Amino acid sequence: MFNWIARISTGIGIVAVLLAYLSFHHQVDPPIYAHTEMDALLQNFRQLNRSCFIVGASGESGKALLKEVVRLKPFARIVLISRRKLEYEDEELKKLEQRVIDFDKIDELHQNDFQGFDVGYSCLGTTRGKAGKEGFIKIEHDYTLSVAKAAKAGGTKHFQLVSSRGVDENSFFLYYQVKGQTDREVCELGFERVSIYRPAVLLVDRVERRPLEKVAQALLKPVAYIAPTFISTPIDILAKAMILNTINNGPPGAQIVDNKEIHQLGNSLTV
Per-residue pLDDT tens digits for 13-40: 433 334 444 444 455 566 667 777 889 9
3-state secondary structure of 75: coil
Closest-CA residue to 23 (of 187, 200, 230): 230
- The alpha carbon of 173 is separated from its chain's Cα centroid by a whole number of angstroms, namely 21
Q: Any catalytic annotation for residue 33?
A: no
Which one of the listed residues 179, 221, 225, 240 is annotated catalytic? 179
Q: In what order do the strands lie in the sheet with 119-122?
A: 97-100, 77-82, 51-55, 119-122, 158-162, 193-197, 253-257
> What is the spatial distance between Cα 82 and Cα 99, in angstroms, rounded to a whole number?
6
Res 174: pLDDT:
95
Which one of the listed residues 33, 157, 175, 260 is annotated catalytic? 175
Is the separation of the CB atoms in 144 and 182 below 8 Å? yes
Res 38: pLDDT:
87
CATH of the domain at 41: 3.40.50.720
Mean pLDDT (the chain, rounded): 86
pLDDT bucket at 7, cuts 50 / 70 / 90: very low
Res 14: pLDDT:
38
Q: Any catalytic annotation for residue 143?
A: no
**Residues β-bridged to residue 203:** 234
Residue range of the domain that includes 205 = 2-268
- pLDDT tens, position by position, 47-85: 999 999 999 999 999 999 999 999 999 999 999 999 999
> What is the spatial distance between Cα 54 and Cα 160, in angstroms, rounded to a whole number?
10
- The pLDDT of residue 261 is above 50: yes
Res 270: pLDDT:
84
- pLDDT tens, position by position, 220-257: 555 555 556 567 899 999 999 999 999 998 889 999 99
Return left, alpha or beta for 126; rule: phi > 0 is left, psi -120 to 50 is alpha, else beta: beta
Least confident of 71-75, 97-101, 107-111, 210-214: 210-214
Res 29: pLDDT:
65
pTM of the model: 0.84
- pLDDT tens, position by position, 121-140: 999 999 888 889 999 999 99
- The pLDDT of residue 9 is above 50: no
Closest-CA residue to 86 (of 113, 64, 115, 56): 56
Res 127: pLDDT:
87
- The pLDDT of residue 213 is above 50: yes
How many domains does the chain fold into?
Answer: 1
* Mean pLDDT, residues 162-188: 96
